[in-house]
Structure 1
Amino acid sequence: MTPTPTAQVKCAAFWGHDGKALAAFYADALGWKVTQTFGDAAAMISDGTTTYVFYTAESFTAPNWPEDELVFHLDLAFDDVAAAEQRLLSLGATKPDHQPGGEHWTVLLDPSGQPFCISAIGR
């Protein structure tokens, strides 16, 4: 029997209407840095261990959430969720009316209209 090779995720990629702006939003949201740009088409962010790259897709359409299935979804955890929500809203996130998480998590939409959740660390 051949052993299963081990691997690690090197990078996750996301698409939006403006990859560089989306990278800047998530870098600010996470306290990370934009580490590389690729012209106007893409930008990469990292904390030194995890890397995300955001691409511009001219034909991008945000999901009509919650009706549409999601292509990706991030859950972000913070020490102070209320302060994080206010900061994320000031960075360009929006808060939809539909909030299925109750007291457990809050759904926000990033600047490209894609949902992500915030919750308390350890929850």
Structure 2
Amino acid sequence: MADNTPRTTTPRGRIGGPALWAPDGRKLAEFYAAAVGAEVGQGYADESGVEVAFPVPVGDTTYFFCTAKTFRAPDWPAEELPFHLDLSFDDPAAAEAYLLELGATKPDFQPGGEHWTVLLDPAGQPFCISRSAG
């Protein structure tokens, strides 16, 4: 039997955090955790018991990095991106050098001018770095 009672409040959810896919979710989680000074949390297992999703809590947001066997990095800039991460640093030049040491690469195409730099994470996904506001 349906409940026809008028709703007095509208349920409000919160976005817990984005999820990014890669051929190796743990490796990508470790890269971003190192980039922002965080730790990789306990992985989540699939139905076979294999860990495939790895949380990285940063402040009030948890980012999830998931293993996807059929992952294909976007052909950026030829393909539009449905999503990417922006990271800010007090010293973007030092951050760029550090991220490159961690396994990022720098594509030739740099549309941000003086505002941001595009890097590719170890899975080949573009992300941007810029100077922290303030």
TM score, norm. by length of structure 2: 0.85
**Structure 1 stretch displaced more, 107-116 or 65-74:** 65-74
- CA shift at 1:12, angstroms? 1.6
Give per-residue Cα distances to partners, 1:60-83, cap 9 Å, x unaligned.
110010011213200111000000
| Equivalent of 2:70 in 54, 59, 68 | 59
1:30 and 2:36 aligned: yes
TM superposition shift of 1:40: 3.8
* Matched-pair identity in %: 59
Residues 20-70 of structure 1: CA deviation (Å, up to 9, x unaligned): 100000000111110111344221111242101111111111001001121
Question: Tell me, which stretches of 5 or more residues in structure 1 are unaligned?
Answer: none
Q: Tell me, what secondary structure is at the counterpart of 1:41?
A: strand
Q: Mapping of 1:1-123 within 5 angstroms?
A: 3-38=9-44, 39-122=50-133
Q: How much is the aligned-residue C-alpha RMSD, in angstroms?
A: 1.7
AA at the equivalent of 2:65: F
Matched residue count: 123
Aligned-pair distance for 1:3? 4.7
Between 1:36-45 and 1:87-96, the stretch displaced more is 36-45
Counterpart-to-counterpart distance in 2, 1:115 and 1:40: 25
Unaligned runs of 5+ in 2: 1-6, 45-49
TM-score (norm 1): 0.92
Deviation at 1:4, TM superposition (A): 4.0
Q: Which has the larger radius of gyration?
A: 2
